[in-house]
Structure 1
Amino acid sequence: MILYIIRHGETFSNAKKIVGDDNDSLNNEGIKNSEKLKKIFKKIKPDLVISSPLRRAIETSKIIFKHNKEIIVSDLVQEKNLPSEIVGKKKKDWVVKNSIELMEKNNISNPGWHLSDEENFKDVERRVALFVEYLNKNVENTIVVVSHKYFIKALLFNFIVGYGKKYKKFVEFYKSVSIDNCKITVCQKNKKWKVLKINSLCV
């Protein structure tokens, strides 16, 4: 099985460095780069396309796979839910920086800790595990997933490092790996999952 993982195209919030919400849509750059990916994936013809339910991912999926068969929408691959009090704020805002620092610090010592209504790493890790279980049971040969930066990094962490590892290890991994808008990550499964390419413009 070959798994192509795409991060959605650039959004207005990405460009303005704002914490986006579920309805954040693609800007012109995001649309243009999604169109470029459409040409690349025209030759691949995936057996299955799975998208996050968030607007930016759906828009990206529909541009790239406009003529493909049905796009499956799955909550399992959506982005990590952030605290509602920081959504819509500039990433450099003190409230945002302080909230992220608090979440990181407290989750290292207490993985189940929540600042407010957000998902923590353990919540996302469980979603990742369910998605990997789904993939492992799937009979399709070529699958594409259109998702988000945090989820993609958590999925790669599962493939490379494993499930149930300490959050501190994930923080180190997260900061060491780049996942840019409209970039492709390629994984392959024989007996085990293997990461072939990360954050690439080609397949």
Structure 2
Amino acid sequence: MNIYFVRHGSTEGNETDQFQLPTIELSERGLKQAEVLANRFKSIPIDIIFSSPMMRASQTAQAISLVTGHAVNENPIFEEVNRPTAVRGRCKSEPEVKEIMKIVKSTFTDPDNRHSDEEDYFQIRDRAQKMLEFLSKKEERNILVVTHGEILKMVLALVIFGDKITPELFYEVKRTFVPDNTGITTIQYDLSFELHESGWYVLGWNDHAHFGEF
């Protein structure tokens, strides 16, 4: 099974370094990225498309749908990591936002002392695990998933470390693996793969060869 994880196209929130609202749309640059990405999938076999229902992901998936002819199946399991309501739609550089996110980081592994309504480490880990379990049960062999940067990092961390994943290891993945908008990460699931008993392995990370087209 081949699973192509795609981060959505660029938004004004990306371009101004915001914590984004679920309703934010692709920017002019993001729409162009989605168009170029969609053309890339003319030559990559796809059997089914899944997407986060957040607008920026949905728009990216719809662009691919127009080219491939496959309907988009939206599922909230593929949504971005949930940040506190108090920071959504605001720039990360704002002093108040910085203070809130310091609290979020300090309580990331302490579910009983979260700042407010954000997802903690364990919720993010468990949701990413459910994503992999959901996909592993599909009959289709070539699956496209349009999702988001932070949740994709946890998926990657689970594929690499499996049950050995820890908050410290996840932080290292967060720090060192930064997916581009419309970058393609290819993960394969094959239980006959002897080097990783889970059957999951990374075949390609953040492929953005299509960037040369605009």
* CA distance in structure 1 between the partners assigned to 2:167 and 2:111 by the alignment: 7
Paired residue secondary structure (1:44): coil
CA separation of 1:80 and 1:164: change in aligned 2, threshold 3 A: farther
* CA distance in structure 1 between the partners assigned to 2:127 and 2:163 by the alignment: 11
Alpha-carbon contact 1:46-1:143 (below 8 Å) kept: yes
Q: Which residue number in structure 2 is paired with residue 22 of structure 1? A: 22
Q: Which residue number in structure 2 is paired with residue 12 of structure 1? A: 12
Alignment of 1:161-172 (within 5 A): 161-163=161-163, 165-172=165-172
Paired positions, count:
202
Q: Which residue number in structure 1 is paired with residue 206 of structure 2? A: 199
CA-to-partner distance for each residue in 1:163-191, whole Å, 9 max, x for gaps?
46321221121111111111111111111
Q: Which residue number in structure 2 is paired with residue 102 of structure 1? A: 103
TM-score under structure 2 normalisation? 0.89
Q: Which residue number in structure 2 is paired with residue 86 of structure 1? A: 87
Q: By how many angstroms is 1:112 displaced?
A: 5.3
Residue identity in the other structure for 1:165: I
Paired residue secondary structure (1:35): helix
CA-to-partner distance for each residue in 1:121-172, whole Å, 9 max, x for gaps?
2112111111111112111110000000111101111101114632122112
Unaligned runs of 5+ in 1: none
Q: By how many angstroms is 1:111 displaced?
A: 5.2
- More divergent stretch after superposition (63-72 vs 47-56): 63-72
1:177 paired with 2:171, answer no
Q: Which residue number in structure 2 is paired with residue 51 of structure 1? A: 51
* CA distance in structure 1 between the partners assigned to 2:53 and 2:164 by the alignment: 26
RMSD, aligned CA:
1.6
Alpha-carbon contact 2:47-2:142 (below 8 Å) kept: yes
Alpha-carbon contact 2:157-2:169 (below 8 Å) kept: no
Q: Which residue number in structure 1 is paired with residue 74 of structure 2? A: 73
* CA distance in structure 2 between the partners assigned to 1:164 and 1:82 by the alignment: 25
Residue identity in the other structure for 1:114: R
Unaligned runs of 5+ in 2: 192-198
* CA distance in structure 2 between the partners assigned to 1:162 and 1:11 by the alignment: 32
Alpha-carbon contact 2:83-2:119 (below 8 Å) kept: yes
CA-to-partner distance for each residue in 1:76-124, whole Å, 9 max, x for gaps?
110011101111211111122222222222224x255411011112112
Paired residue secondary structure (1:107): coil
* CA distance in structure 1 between the partners assigned to 2:112 and 2:207 by the alignment: 34
Alignment of 1:81-160 (within 5 A): 81-108=82-109, 110=110, 113-160=113-160
Q: By how many angstroms is 1:45 displaced?
A: 3.4
Paired residue secondary structure (1:144): strand
* CA distance in structure 1 between the partners assigned to 2:187 and 2:112 by the alignment: 30
Alpha-carbon contact 1:112-1:120 (below 8 Å) kept: no
* CA distance in structure 2 between the partners assigned to 1:64 and 1:137 by the alignment: 23
* CA distance in structure 1 between the partners assigned to 2:172 and 2:133 by the alignment: 25
TM-score under structure 1 normalisation? 0.93
